[in-house]
Every structure is written in C-alpha cells, then in structure tokens.
Amino acid sequence: MIKPLIAGNWKMHKTAGESLDFVRQLLTALGGPLDDRDVVIAPPFTALFPVAELLRGSGIGLAAQNVHDAAEGAFTGEISTRMLIDAGCSHVIIGHSERRTLFGEKNDFLNRKATAALSAGLRPIYCIGETLDEREGGRTFTVIERQVKEGLNKFNAGDIGRTVLAYEPVWAIGTGRTAAPTQAQEVHAFIRKMIEGDFGGRAAAAIPILYGGSVKPDNIDELMAQPDINGALVGGASLKVESFISIIRFKK
C-alpha cells in the first residue's frame, strides 16, 4: 500500500511572512500529525528556512520548487542541493512544466538535477506531462515514455525507491480543466508499467505517482479513487488554507 501524498506547489506566491501565517493556520487546522497520508508544501526559496523551523515535528515535508545540479560555483541566480538541505528541505520539485516550457529545461538536465538531489538526500518530485498539442496529436504515451526514460536515466533501485513521480498534463495546469479521472488513471497505469519494466515489480508497487493539474476539493475524491493515483500535486488550490485542507482530507 502506497501512503498517499498531497503536495502544495505555491509557485511564485507568498512572502516569508505570508508563508508563516499560512503554515500556522494549517497546523492549527490539522491539529497534529496525520498517520495515513503525507503532506508536503513547496513555498518559494525565501520562505524555506523560516517555514522549516515552524514545521519541525509536524510530520509535514518541505519541498523546494527547483534546484541546480552543480554542487556550487558561478551560477548566478541558482541554488544547490546543499543549500536546500541546510534550509530544511526534504523534497524538491524537478521538471515542472513551467520550468520545461518557460525556462527551456530538458530531460537530460532534469535527470542531472534529480541525480544530484538524490545523492544529497533530497526526494525528487519529478514532473512529467504532455502538452495539448501532443495529446491531440496522439503522442501522449510517446512523450511520457521519453520523459520517464530520460528523466530517470541511470537510476538504481535505491534511487527509484526515493523518487516521487507527478503526472501533470500541461493542458490541465492552472486552466481549470482537469484530466478526467479515468484519463489520468490510463497514463498513471502506463507509467507504473514502465517502472515495472525498468526497475521491477517491487519498485513499481512502491513508487508514489501523483496527479497534478487543476486539483480542487471537489475533484480530489474521484481522482484518489483511481488505483494508480497515489496523491496530488496541487497548485492554485494549495494557496488557501481551507481548500488545501479539504484536499488533504480527501475521502479514502
């Protein structure tokens, strides 16, 4: 049984002060650690350190939204795995479609980032997903296959055991257009089969595959009822405590 994981990606929203307010409210509303599901939040870089202090002992994980693969050096504007660990991160989002489309990040670079994250002790939340053009052109599975193969290139069993995958159809992100639960399930099952082929049945049965793209309180239950959907990567609806809490409290 894979423990469900609900992750909130705040993107470029909230100052450090606003992040702390949110987390205080979240902790009060949750009233203590949850046993049957994991929660991770991904605030902007400037909020990571203070939020980590507040989250200590809460059981809630802390993710950065990006990382560079180099250990250190002349990379103006970038951040290293060591800095993220030092700030208190447990996870890092890699390959979000906004990084791929707006910042031109490609599978081989994302693979290097994921490898660096794993060797530093961070769990990558590795995002994949097709664009509308690719879906309409019947290329969804080819695109996903390539993203998974190249993204997880040279991973070993230990690496895959610490990786979280997130399927986020680009056409469903921030558009209010969710993939139908069965449509998402089809791709999740395909991804799990690929993991089985490359890393074996044990790895496939253990890897959390999250769905992302317009996840809301009113569609989370249906999504989570799908056998291969193990959680959600939530953007817009993770910015308000009430909606994020309702998603965290999805019905099993």
94-100 contacts, C-beta under 8 A, 24 or more apart: 94/66, 94/67, 94/124, 94/125, 94/126, 94/127, 95/126, 95/127, 95/128, 95/147, 95/151, 96/9, 96/65, 96/66, 96/127, 96/168, 97/127, 97/129, 97/168, 97/170, 97/173, 98/11, 98/173, 99/66
Answer for which of 4, 5, 6, 9 binds ligand PGA (CB under 6 A) is 9
Among candidate residues 247, 243, 251, the one with its CA nearest the CA of residue 225: 251
Q: Footprint of ligand PGA on residues 135-194 (CB under 6 A)?
A: 168, 173-174
Nearer to ligand PGA, 6 or 234 (CB): 234
> Which of 91, 96, 98, 105 does the annotation list as catalytic?
96
What's the closest the beta carbon of residue 95 comes to ligand PGA, in angstroms? 11
Asked if residue 95 binds ligand PGA (CB under 6 A), the reply is: no
What's the closest the beta carbon of residue 88 comes to ligand PGA, in angstroms? 21
What's the closest the beta carbon of residue 163 comes to ligand PGA, in angstroms? 17
Is 168 in the active site? Answer: yes
Span near ligand PGA by CB under 6 A; candidates 63-71, 102-110, 155-163, 213-221:
213-221
Asked if residue 17 binds ligand PGA (CB under 6 A), the reply is: no
Asked if residue 124 binds ligand PGA (CB under 6 A), the reply is: no
Q: Residue count of the chain, please give it.
A: 252
Nearer to ligand PGA, 43 or 199 (CB): 43
Contacts with ligand PGA, 36-65, as mask; x by CB under 6 A:
------------------------------
Answer for which of 63, 215, 224, 229 binds ligand PGA (CB under 6 A) is 215
Answer for which of 236, 243, 244, 248 binds ligand PGA (CB under 6 A) is 236
Among candidate residues 93, 112, 85, 94, the one with its CA nearest the CA of residue 40: 93
What's the closest the beta carbon of residue 239 comes to ligand PGA, in angstroms? 9
Q: At what angle do helices 16-30 and 241-248 cross, to 10 degrees?
A: 40
Is 145 in the active site? Answer: no
Nearer to ligand PGA, 199 or 235 (CB): 235
Nearer to ligand PGA, 118 or 128 (CB): 128
Q: Please, are residues 222 and 252 in contact by the beta-carbon 8 Å criterion? A: no
Among candidate residues 188, 249, 241, the one with its CA nearest the CA of residue 213: 188
Q: Please, are residues 144 and 181 in contact by the beta-carbon 8 Å criterion? A: no
Question: Which residues does the annotation mark as catalytic?
Answer: 96, 168
Contact residues toward ligand PGA (CB under 6 A) are: 9, 168, 173-174, 212-215, 233-237
